Structure formats: C-alpha cells, structure tokens
C-alpha cells in the first residue's frame, strides 16, 4: 500500500464513490454534534492576492482525523500555474499515526465543494427545475454545473462571469460535456430566468440583488468562504423564506450568513444547518413558491469524508 498518493493516483478512486452521500453523512454527523471541528486557520495575502485555508477535524468514535491545506491564488494562471493547490493528511485517531498523504493539488477540495453544492440544491430546490444559473466562470463553476446536471437532468445552464473570454470558455467546456449551456451578459437576466442559482465567485461586494429573484428560486452560495467575501445582497438573505448553512458556528464569522447577521438583516434563530434538514430535525423547503438560500463555507468533515473514501478505495 502506497502511503503517499498524487492526483493521478487519487482521481480513479473517486469513480466508485457517491460523493453526495458522503457529504450528506458528514453534514448529518456535524449537525448532530458528533464532530470536533476547530475554527478555520487562514492566511490572506494582498500582493499577490491569495488565500490559504487550513481545516481539520474528526468524528467522535471514527477511525481517522484529517488536516487539509488548500490555497487559491487568482493570478497563478498568468504565471503558468493552476489557481488552487493543497493536500490532505489522514491520521489514525487511535494512535495519531499517519494513514495517507493525499497530494491532490486542491482537486479533492473542488470535488467535495461541488458535491456539497449539488446536495444542497437537491435538498432545497423546488421541483421541476428547468434553468440553472451559474454565477462565475472558473473551475468551480464548471464543476457545479457538471454535478448539478446529474441531478437535474435536461436542465439548461446560463453562465455569467465578469470576463467574457472565461465565460465563453466555460460555456464551451460544458457543451463539450453534452450540457445545454449559454452565456448571459446580465446577472439580472440570469436571475429572472432561473429557478436555481449557484454562486461560485470570490466577490467582496454583492452580485445578486433581491429584486431580481423570482418566487420559488433556490440559491446555493459556495463562493464566500472568508469574512471578506460577499456574493448575495443582505436584503436577499432577509427576504428568503428559508436560510440554511453548513455550519452555523462557522457562518457567524464568514459567508453570506455572517454578512447578513452583521447588517442586522438576519437573526441566528432564522438559520438552520443543512445536516439538520437532511436528518429531518429541521425544515427545508415547505412549498414551491418559497425563496431559499444555502450558504456553504466548507467544513472539515467534508474533507474527512472524501479523504476516507479515497483511503478505502486504495486499501
């Protein structure tokens, strides 16, 4: 058994893994209080702009704990490097001995983020979604579209991104996967046409406005994972009939929930965790006309579940 795996060795291991169910199990364990997940470690850089997240945790009574480091440096493509990098370290809970070193270059973080986004949308979106808006045109935008296409078969994807060239490349990549995709110039046009919207950007000022969102829309927000990032107008959070997050403790400090709490547009008791909705201990969508939002900031239990899935597949 190889202790250290690179991405070329890791990627085939995911073929037989149901990542949505892995994420669901992790979220349910987290919301049941079965996880130990300390606050996120974070390094933020200004010149060049970049960020590094350190996430770690375990499930009580489980076999392993995980330490994950993932970075994002938006200027990297101009230097010939990918935006993201990182690794995951899996240790045995009983002894602290290392079980796996996963040199995944950040790909596992992308996979678990995309799977969690699709899970949230599957759980909270209204029936009969026909049009899905993707806000952003990067790697995560493409992955969210690919994962959502597995659930919402036949849906059309509308793609918006600030950079027209990147948007066109994203649309082309999705069409090559057999998806119905087209670009839009206006976020308002995207919002008014879609029953489901997924936001994937690193914006620090709101992009989606409340008045653009039609009744029955669900929004899965995955871009805002630091205290500074902000994709949704706080008035949209206030308007939403159902606000769900991955971790209330984490979302007090980062993400769309944190922005709305800070603005006084939302109260903590108006927010429930996705794991609780999945377990049936909290309500999700109640009817097809509600507006719902799920704020996903990324929790270490997701990293634990995907790392353990790779470890099992390699055993």
| Predicted pLDDT at 237 | 98
- Confirm if 49 and 74 have CB atoms less than 8 A apart: yes
101 and 131 housed in the same domain: no
Q: Is residue 306 part of a domain?
A: yes
185 and 91 housed in the same domain: no
Place of tokens 């109640």: 286
Task: Check if 68 is active-site.
Answer: yes
What is the domain count for the chain?
2
46 and 135 housed in the same domain: no
Q: Is residue 199 part of a domain?
A: yes
| Predicted pLDDT at 7 | 97
* Exposure letters 69-80 (e unless 16+ CB within 10 A, then b): bbbbbeebeeee
305 and 283 housed in the same domain: no
75 and 175 housed in the same domain: no
Phi, psi of 270 (to 5 degrees): -95, 0
- Confirm if 133 and 193 have CB atoms less than 8 A apart: yes
Element (H, E) at 51: strand 50-59
Q: Is residue 145 part of a domain?
A: yes
Category of 290 on φ-ψ map: left (φ > 0), alpha (ψ -120 to 50) or beta = beta
| Predicted pLDDT at 180 | 98
Residue 81, domain extent: 4-108+301-314
- Pick from 145, 237, 238, 156: nearest CA to 190: 156
Q: At what angle do helices 139-151 and 164-176 cross, to 10 degrees?
A: 40
Sign for the CA dihedral angle at 302, 303, 305, 309 comes to positive
Q: Which residues of the chain have pLDDT under 70?
A: none
CB atoms within 10 A of CB 249: 12
Going by the DSSP 8-state scheme, the letter that residue 78 receives in this structure is: H
| Predicted pLDDT at 204 | 94
| Predicted pLDDT at 74 | 85
| Predicted pLDDT at 81 | 87
Query: Can you tell me whether residue 241 is helix, strand or coil?
Result: coil
Rounded to an integer, what is the distance from CA 300 to the centroid of its chain? 12
Beta bridge partners of residue 288, listed in sequence order: none
- Confirm if 88 and 307 have CB atoms less than 8 A apart: yes
CB atoms within 10 A of CB 165: 9
159 and 272 housed in the same domain: yes
Q: What angle do CA 68, 74, 78 make, to 5 degrees?
A: 125
* Exposure letters 201-216 (e unless 16+ CB within 10 A, then b): bbbeebbbebebbeeb
Going by the DSSP 8-state scheme, the letter that residue 135 receives in this structure is: E
160 and 239 housed in the same domain: yes
State the pTM of this model.
0.96
167 and 293 housed in the same domain: yes
Question: Rounded to whole angstroms, what are the CA distances from 275 to 60, 196, 247, 284?
Answer: 16, 20, 9, 11
- Catalytically annotated residue among 55, 68, 92, 214: 68
Give tens-digit pLDDT for 255-312.
Answer: 999 999 999 999 999 999 999 999 999 999 999 999 999 999 999 999 999 999 999 9
CATH code for the domain of 31:
3.30.1780.10
Category of 186 on φ-ψ map: left (φ > 0), alpha (ψ -120 to 50) or beta = beta
């Amino acid at each position: 058994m190889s202790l250290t795996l690179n991405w070329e060795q890791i990627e085939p291991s995911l073929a037989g893994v149901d990542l949505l169910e892995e994420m669901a199990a992790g979220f349910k364990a987290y919301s049941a209080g079965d996880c130990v997940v300390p606050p996120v470690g974070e390094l933020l850089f200004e010149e060049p702009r970049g960020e590094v997240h350190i996430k770690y945790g375990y499930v009580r009574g489980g076999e392993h704990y995980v330490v994950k480091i993932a970075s994002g440096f938006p200027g990297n493509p101009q230097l010939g490097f990918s935006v993201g990098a990182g690794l995951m370290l899996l240790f045995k809970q009983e002894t602290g001995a290392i079980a796996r070193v996963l040199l995944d270059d950040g790909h596992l973080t992308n996979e678990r983020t995309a799977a969690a986004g699709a899970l949230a949308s599957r759980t909270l979106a209204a029936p009969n979604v026909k049009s899905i808006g993707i806000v952003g045109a990067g790697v995560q935008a493409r992955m969210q579209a690919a994962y959502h296409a597995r659930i919402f078969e036949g849906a059309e994807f509308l793609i918006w991104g600030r950079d027209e060239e990147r948007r066109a490349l994203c649309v082309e990549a999705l069409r090559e996967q057999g998806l119905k995709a087209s670009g839009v110039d206006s976020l308002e046009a995207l919002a008014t046409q879609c029953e489901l919207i997924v936001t994937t950007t690193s914006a620090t000022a709101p992009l989606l406005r409340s008045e653009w969102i039609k009744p029955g829309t669900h929004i899965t927000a995955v871009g805002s994972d630091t205290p500074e990032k902000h994709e949704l107008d706080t008035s949209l959070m206030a308007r939403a009939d159902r606000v769900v997050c991955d971790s209330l403790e984490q979302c007090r400090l980062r993400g769309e929930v944190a922005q709305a709490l800070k603005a006084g547009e939302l109260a903590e008791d108006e927010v429930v965790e996705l794991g609780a909705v999945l377990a049936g201990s909290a309500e999700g969508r109640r009817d097809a006309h509600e507006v719902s939002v799920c704020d996903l900031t990324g929790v270490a239990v997701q990293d634990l579940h995907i790392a353990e899935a790779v470890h099992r597949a390699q055993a």
